Amino acid sequence: MSGPDFQKNPLIPAIAQDFATGDVLMLAWMNEEAYRETLSTGRVCYYSRSRKKLWRKGEESGNVQELREMRFDCDGDTLLVKVNQVGGAACHEGYRSCFFRRLSADGLTFEIVGERVFDPAVVYGKS
Amino acid sequence: MSGPDFQKNPLIPAIAQDFATGDVLMLAWMNEEAYRETLSTGRVCYYSRSRKKLWRKGEESGNVQELREMRFDCDGDTLLVKVNQVGGAACHEGYRSCFFRRLSADGLTFEIVGERVFDPAVVYGKS
């Protein structure tokens, strides 16, 4: 295996991890074009499944992800993208990580464990 | 949103992260049954898409994952599972993490960055 296998899976999940802190920031998807663009530009580009087009992370908010390191897993079907998260927040809700909801032990409730870095209403001009 | 939405997506990607070190260990999938079993037993259970059944991680190798914390993301379509990886290796190839292949800057080559914790031939009885 020499890299992610886009023949087998045209869309591959990509885990974004903060290079400095190790925080898992988000999970998104890459097709081969997004993957190649990410490597050639050094800025992380995903493929938006809902919008069905390339998603240059931070294009609107300015919170781009600078590529520090890219790994692929033993099955060639998942990517791990280590990044520098410009602006400090990966989540469109203004949190550092999209995983800011921690479940209780029984899974019935959750608490917010992240800190809000920006106000989405200001950044995206909507509430 | 009060938890992962299995109505929208019957299979949800689950990122396993080492609770102590922050290393991303692997990505697998959970259906609602695997998710509930993980919460109720405190041992991570996935759903194997290839075998089409519950996959109690470590059942064969003994390298179970003890649940430390579970989070879900802002869209309710990804889980982050923080674990204690018994045996020190999550990957069936004997590495701590499944992401032991790091790509070169141009993506054309890779190097092994992980350390082999066990020999798969011994643990699984095959080479």
Does the pLDDT of residue B127 top 80, yes or no?
Answer: no
The one-letter code for the residue type at B69 is E
* Residues in B touching A95 (Cβ below 8 Å): 74
Asked if A54 has any chain B CB less than 8 Å from its own CB, the reply is: no
CA distance B46 to B30: 5
ipTM over the 0.85 cut-off = yes
Which residues on neighbouring strands pair with residue A55, listed in sequence order?
A: A46
Q: CB-CB: which of A73, A102, A107 is closest to B98?
A: A73
CB B3 within 8 A of CB B80: no
CA distance A66 to A17: 11
**Interface contact A98-B105, CB threshold 8 A:** no
* Residues in A touching B98 (Cβ below 8 Å): 73-75, 78
**Interface contact B95-A73, CB threshold 8 A:** no
Q: CB-CB: which of B70, B92, B105 is closest to A103?
A: B70
Confidence tier at B47 by pLDDT (50, 70, 90)? very high
The pTM score is: 0.95
Window 64-93 of A: residues touching B by CB (8 A cutoff) are 69-75, 78, 80, 91-93
Q: What is the DSSP letter of A40?
A: H
Does the pLDDT of residue A108 top 90, yes or no?
Answer: yes
**Interface contact B103-A17, CB threshold 8 A:** no
Confidence tier at A127 by pLDDT (50, 70, 90)? very low
Q: What pLDDT is recorded for position A126?
A: 56
| Token pair in block for residue B15 | 């990122």
A119 burial level (CB within 10 Å; 0-12, 13-18, 19+): exposed
**Interface contact A102-B69, CB threshold 8 A:** yes
Min Cα distance B107 → chain A (Å) is 7
Task: Identify which has the larger pLDDT, B22 or A124.
Answer: B22
* Residues in A touching B1 (Cβ below 8 Å): 101
Average pLDDT over residues A85-92: 95
**Interface contact B103-A39, CB threshold 8 A:** yes
Residue-wise pLDDT tens digits, B77-100: 999 999 999 999 999 999 999 999
Chain A residue at shortest CA distance from B102: A71
Does the pLDDT of residue A100 top 70, yes or no?
Answer: yes
**Interface contact B3-A93, CB threshold 8 A:** no
Q: What is the 3-state secondary structure (H, E, C) of A75-122?
A: CCCCEEEEEEECCCCCCCCCECCCCCEEECCCCCCEEECCCECCCHHH
**Interface contact A103-B71, CB threshold 8 A:** yes
Q: CB-CB: which of A69, A91, A106 is closest to B102?
A: A69
Does the pLDDT of residue A92 top 70, yes or no?
Answer: yes
